[in-house]
Amino acid sequence: MNIRKVGVLGCGLMGSGIAQVSATAGFDVTVLEVEQKFLDKGFAGIEKSLAKLTEKGSLKETPQAVRARLKGSTRREDLADCDLVIEAVIENAEEKRKIYSALDGIVKKDAIFASNTSSISITELMTATKRPERFVGLHFFNPVPLMKLVEVVRTIATSEDVYETAYDFGKRVGKVPVRTSDKSGFIVNRLLVPYLLDAVRAYEEGVGSIEDIDQAMKLGCGYPMGPFTLLDFVGLDTTYYITHVMFEEFKERRFASPPLLKRMVLAGWYGRKSGKGFYDYKDPQKPVAQDSALRGFAAEEAAAKIA
C-alpha cells in the first residue's frame, strides 16, 4: 500500500515530533488537535527543531519546504483522505477509543490506523473501529526527531501487508523499526518503566539525592541521562498513566506507581513540560533538583511505610 498523506492526532510532545519526521520524509501531514492553541504550541516546537537541525546541517531541504507539507486542523473531516493516521493523544484508553471511533466513519476505509500508545493494548483500541486488520502500533520515542527507534506492534488481527506497510513507513521516516506484539509496554517500556519506578522508590527510601541517583546511573551504567532527568523529560503525568495500564495488565508491584509520583502528578508537577518535576526548569539550561521541596515528603512516605 502506498502511503502519501499522514494524519497525526495530537500535537503534544510526541504528535509534533511524529508530524515533523513524517513531513521531513516527504509525506503531506495534517495534525488534528482539540484547540488551535495546542497546534500553535506544537508547530512552534517543530519550527525550533527544524531550525536546529538546519544549523547542524542534518536537514536535506529548507525548513520552509518541510513546514509547507505540514497543516494543522481542529476539524476531523480534514483527515478523511489520509492513508495512515497515527494517534498520539493522552495515555487514556477511553479518550483514544472515542477519537478512533469518531474517525472510523470519516477516514477512508482502506487507511491504516496506528497508535503511539506506550502501554495501552492495541487490541483494545482496535475494537473501537471496524477495521481491525488495518490497525497497528507505531511506538516512537521522545524526542522523535532524534531517537532512532520505532516499535511496530501487531495484534492477532493485523493483516500482513498492513504490518509490513507500517514497518516500511518506520524506515521511510528515518527510524530503525523493531517487530513486537501487543503486550503492555512492548519491549522498551516493559523493561524501562520498572527501572524508573524503582528510582522513585529508592529516592523515597533515602538511598540518595536526585542528582546523586541521576549521576550514579549515568556514570555507573553509561546511560545518557539519569532516571529523574528522564522521568521529567517523558512527563510524570504520562508515566503515571502508564503505571495504571501496566499494573492493571500484570498486577505486579514493579509496575505500580510509587506514592511520590502520584502526589507530584496531583500537584501538577509534570516535569519539563510544566516547568517543574524532580527538577525546576525556571532556567531550562540549569535545572535545579527539588530535594528540599520533596525530601520531607519522601521521608514522610518512607516513615508511613515503616509504621
Ligand X SMILES: NC(=O)c1ccc[n+]([C@@H]2O[C@H](COP(=O)([O-])OP(=O)(O)OC[C@H]3O[C@@H](n4cnc5c(N)ncnc54)[C@H](O)[C@@H]3O)[C@@H](O)[C@H]2O)c1
Question: How many residues of this chain bind ligand X (CB under 6 A)?
Answer: 27
Q: Which of 115, 116, 189, 257 is catalytic?
A: 189
Among 15, 63, 145, 287, which residue sits at the site for ligand X (rule: CB under 6 A)?
15
Q: Does the protein bind ligand X through residue 234 (CB under 6 A)?
A: yes
| Residue, CB closest to ligand X | 12
If the CB atoms of residues 16 and 24 are measured against ligand X, the closer one turns out to be: 16
- Span of 32-40, 44-52, 172-180, 221-229 interacting with ligand X by CB under 6 A: 32-40
If the CB atoms of residues 32 and 112 are measured against ligand X, the closer one turns out to be: 32
Cis amide leading into 143 (omega within 30): yes
Binding flags for ligand X, 78-97, as an x/- string (CB under 6 A): ----------xxxx---x--
Q: Does the protein bind ligand X through residue 14 (CB under 6 A)?
A: yes
If the CB atoms of residues 53 and 193 are measured against ligand X, the closer one turns out to be: 193
139 catalytic? Reply is yes
Binding flags for ligand X, 52-81, as an x/- string (CB under 6 A): ------------------------------
Among 12, 145, 226, 277, which residue sits at the site for ligand X (rule: CB under 6 A)?
12
User: What is the rounded CA–CA span in Å between residue 78 and residue 27?
Assistant: 15
Q: Does the protein bind ligand X through residue 128 (CB under 6 A)?
A: no
If the CB atoms of residues 35 and 110 are measured against ligand X, the closer one turns out to be: 35
Question: Cβ 85 to ligand X, closest distance in Å?
Answer: 11
Question: Cβ 161 to ligand X, closest distance in Å?
Answer: 25
Q: Does the protein bind ligand X through residue 274 (CB under 6 A)?
A: no
Burial grade of 106 (CB within 10 A; 0-12, 13-18, 19 or more): middle
118 catalytic? Reply is yes
Query: Backbone phi, then psi, for 8, in 5-degree steps?
Result: -125, 130
Supply 190's cell numbers. 516493559
Q: Does the protein bind ligand X through residue 49 (CB under 6 A)?
A: no
Catalytic residues: 118, 139, 151, 189
Q: Under the rule (CB under 6 A), what is the footprint of ligand X?
A: 9-15, 32-34, 38, 88-91, 95, 99, 116-118, 139-142, 234-235, 238
